[in-house]
Chains A and B, each alone.
Chain A
């Protein structure tokens, strides 16, 4: 559904993405993992066209996203830090989003209900706490029932009850056969939510396969330990090569 082809991105001298090529298929759910500053958010923003790759191309449904914007109808995006016009209320923002995507007639308001955002419709964005903003971001990402969902650290800053609600929602959408990309540092969440993993390190893809095969390779039960073992093995191989 989304294929990233030899994408490079540099900010000045800093190379953020280094020859990244990944195919993301419909019906699978991907965990995007990597240390801070490894290029996860840049990769996500490149898919959304917010960051423009220095070289390489990104295809959405086999069409290049360069100079295209219509494909974003099919993506629900939950940013890491949601920036919203501070003067608007939650209700106004949700209305505005509905207005922009006029061609969607059926809205998925389950998360708005579950997070009880209805009660806070008159609150202005600048009065909201970080967690409530996250809830608004999550509700907006799922609102239009898009075939692809990109969630950048969705559970960071949410209270335990809301995390469970959000995770349940992601699992439901996964069962519905949507493409889901989750970037997170909470590996136990990813263990539940995703089937495949992309491991980014210093802008390079170091691992791109299913989580079960990773666990088999490293003979570990938990994703966290499996990743640690994988990194350990890689470092060992590199030191031998040197």
Chain B
């Protein structure tokens, strides 16, 4: 397993994309700290990057990488190595390099300007979202043999979780506003990793009062330590479930 991770890691550093990604995150985070001195506001702006850009880059990069390493996977399959080890190795290598890129790119400027608890939560959310969307990208990659189709599916996942789902949720809440919806909305939010991360962050930023009655209800639920633990568990499920489905498909796939 270690050897597989090592080779995939080495291969990814070659493409220089990871280095570029780190630099981009570093520059934008640093610039935001230069523009604004209020750390909380900076975290707020960074939140948008974490919630939109990181899932997008994670899912698209991973899908492209998976297809580019098809040759490597094929080569390994004829060797005395367990299929699952190859797949898990690929996953760990991709996840760790993307997470390291994010932690270096966003983490270093944050620590230079003094890390608050909210900033740490942001880093935590970014890492978890990266892992979740890499899982989804692996799922998209094993679902089809065609690279273009897989990227399409990956982009669809991103659109769905970043834009479409929110629209649906808004419509739902609006249409049924006469009913008590707190618990249902809470459940619906758990069905979207991006929303979960957003709620955790907004509550940390202590602006939940702006979210009105439901905001207060979320604060009541998520703000308590139990709420944070529970939502983290659900976020972890968003990593584990797509990955285990894709692992199962991969171990039965013809290559």
Contacts and interface: CB of A to CB of B under 8 A. Distances in A.
Given A50-B254, A52-B252, A85 B80 contact: no
Contact of B74 (A11, A73, A83, A88): A83
A11 B255 CA distance: 12
Contacts, number: 59
Interface stretch (A22-30, A96-104, A213-221, A224-232): A96-104
Nearest to A85: B72
Contact of B77 (A50, A70, A85, A96): A50
B11 A99 contact: no
B81 interface: yes
Interface in B62-114: 69-72, 74-83
B3 A99 contact: yes
B250 to A, nearest CB: 11
Contact of B75 (A11, A52, A75, A85): A85
B75 A72 contact: no
A99 B3 CA distance: 8
Given A50-B255, A96-B7, A70 B71 contact: no
Contacts of B80: 69-73, 100-101
A11 B77 CA distance: 20
A235 interface: no
Contacts of A45: 254-255
Contacts of A69: 80-83
Interface in A38-82: 45, 48-52, 69-73, 75, 77, 79
Given A72-B80, A101-B80, A85 B255 contact: no
A175 interface: no
Contacts of B11: 85, 87-88
A82 to B, nearest CB: 8
B81 A83 contact: no
A69 B71 CA distance: 19
A174 to B, nearest CB: 21
Interface in B232-250: none
Interface string A81-116: 001111110000000110111000000000000000
A159 to B, nearest CB: 24
B8 to A, nearest CB: 10
A162 B182 CA distance: 74
Given A72-B80, A85-B11, A99-B3, A52 B71 contact: no
B97 to A, nearest CB: 15
Contacts of A72: 78-81
A97 B75 CA distance: 9
B78 to A, nearest CB: 5
- Output the residue of B3, B14, B78 with the most chain A CB within 10 A: B78
Chain B CB within 10 Å, residue with most, of A77, A97, A100: A100
Contact of B70 (A75, A83, A88): A83
Contacts of A85: 11, 69, 71-72, 75
A83 B67 CA distance: 13
Given A83-B71, A85-B69, A85-B71, A48 B3 contact: no
Interface in B1-36: 3, 7, 11, 14-15
A232 B82 CA distance: 45
Given A69-B82, A75-B78, A85-B11, 15 more contacts: A11-B254, A49-B77, A50-B78, A52-B253, A72-B80, A72-B81, A79-B78, A83-B70, A83-B74, A84-B75, A85-B72, A87-B14, A96-B7, A99-B3, A101-B80
11 contacts: A48-B78, A49-B77, A50-B74, A51-B255, A52-B253, A52-B254, A83-B75, A85-B11, A85-B71, A85-B72, A96-B3
